[in-house]
């Protein structure tokens, strides 16, 4: 597996990630249900704040994770190396997810029994791989972290994923998922980056304990159809589909409470 980083402890990863976390708290006293958002391979962008506002309005606290700040991965390097699979595969970045889950469970404003995950593209790959890894040596080997708890996904209620990469390097299609929680996926039929209907077939056919992944096909949607500022020729922003996706996100989170 491509990696440029050495072994570290879970607490070291928490200390590395926490300073760059962007936190959105809903109105009222906590503890609040919490959704943790993981950006795509291009890094944390403005769209994360727009999605966070949707979750916040639905009564959820939102933790927006920046997986690149402490690794000092620039936008240019991200496109050149992470988006092309040269470094930081989903299984390794799953260590960030385990670390942030552990961090959230320690916060007084957080309801440790009501946590959701949300991921975009590479972030969705990360979410699914984190749910495919088994605790212990398997997770430590793949994430390059020590000190992972016996159940790093404690408190997880569900996952919301958009246009997930499930091609070369993805563990979940091979292993299946070990967590039985609701998972909602959005896939665009015109997504030339992850494969559109092909990735939808992978998701619907994925092995899960009981609940199958629910896949919503967005007709004509490209990759990152929700990114207003997108400059990739393969991406076309669609305000109507974005509003539809935001509505699905709000309903999904409200149903988990």
Q: What is the mean pLDDT of the chain?
A: 96
pLDDT at position 231 is 87
Give the contacts of 132 (CB within 8 A, at least 6 positions apart): 171, 172, 174, 175, 176, 177, 178
Between the two ends of the chain, the Cα-to-Cα distance in Å is 37
For the stretch 83-140, pLDDT in tens is 999 999 999 999 999 999 999 999 999 999 999 999 999 999 999 999 999 999 999 9
CA–centroid distance for 104 within its chain: 15
Q: Strand 156-162 and strand 110-120: pairing?
A: parallel
Distance CA 45, CA 252 (A): 23
Q: Is the pLDDT of residue 159 over 60?
A: yes
pLDDT at position 7 is 85
For the stretch 37-49, pLDDT in tens is 999 999 999 999 9
Largest CA distance in the chain: 45
How far is the CA of 140 from the CAs of 77, 90, 91, 122, 148, in angstroms? 26, 14, 10, 20, 7
Joined tokens for residue 153: 């996904």
How far is the CA of 156 from the CAs of 18, 28, 115, 145, 195, in angstroms? 20, 22, 5, 20, 28
pLDDT at position 216 is 98
Q: Which CATH superfamily is domain 8-256 in?
A: Alpha/Beta hydrolase fold, catalytic domain (3.40.50.1820)
Domain ranges of the chain: 8-256
Which class for 130: exposed (0-12), middle (13-18), buried (19 or more C-beta within 10 A)?
A: buried
């Amino acid at each position: 597996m491509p990696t440029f980083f050495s072994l570290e402890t879970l607490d070291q990863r928490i200390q590395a990630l926490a300073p760059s976390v962007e936190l959105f708290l809903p109105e009222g006293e906590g503890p609040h249900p919490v959704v943790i958002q993981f950006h795509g391979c291009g890094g944390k962008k403005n769209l994360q704040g727009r999605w966070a506002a949707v979750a916040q309005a639905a009564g959820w606290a939102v933790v927006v994770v920046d997986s690149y700040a402490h690794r000092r991965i620039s936008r240019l390097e991200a496109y050149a190396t992470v988006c092309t699979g040269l470094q930081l595969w989903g299984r390794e970045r799953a260590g960030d997810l385990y670390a942030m889950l552990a961090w959230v469970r320690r916060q007084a404003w957080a309801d440790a029994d009501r946590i959701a995950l949300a991921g975009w593209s590479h972030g969705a790959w990360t979410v699914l791989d984190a749910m495919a890894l088994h605790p212990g040596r398997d997770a430590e080997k793949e994430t390059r972290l020590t000190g992972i708890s016996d159940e790093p996904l404690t408190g997880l209620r569900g996952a919301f994923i958009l246009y997930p990469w499930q091609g070369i390097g993805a563990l979940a299609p091979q292993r299946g998922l070990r967590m039985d929680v609701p998972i909602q996926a959005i896939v665009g039929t015109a997504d030339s980056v992850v494969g559109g209907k092909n990735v939808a077939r992978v998701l619907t056919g994925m092995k899960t304990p009981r609940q199958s992944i629910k896949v919503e096909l967005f007709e004509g949607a490209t990759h990152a159809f929700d990114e207003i500022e997108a400059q990739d020729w393969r991406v076309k922003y669609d305000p109507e589909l974005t509003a539809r996706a935001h509505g699905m996100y709000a309903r999904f989170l409200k149903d988990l409470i």
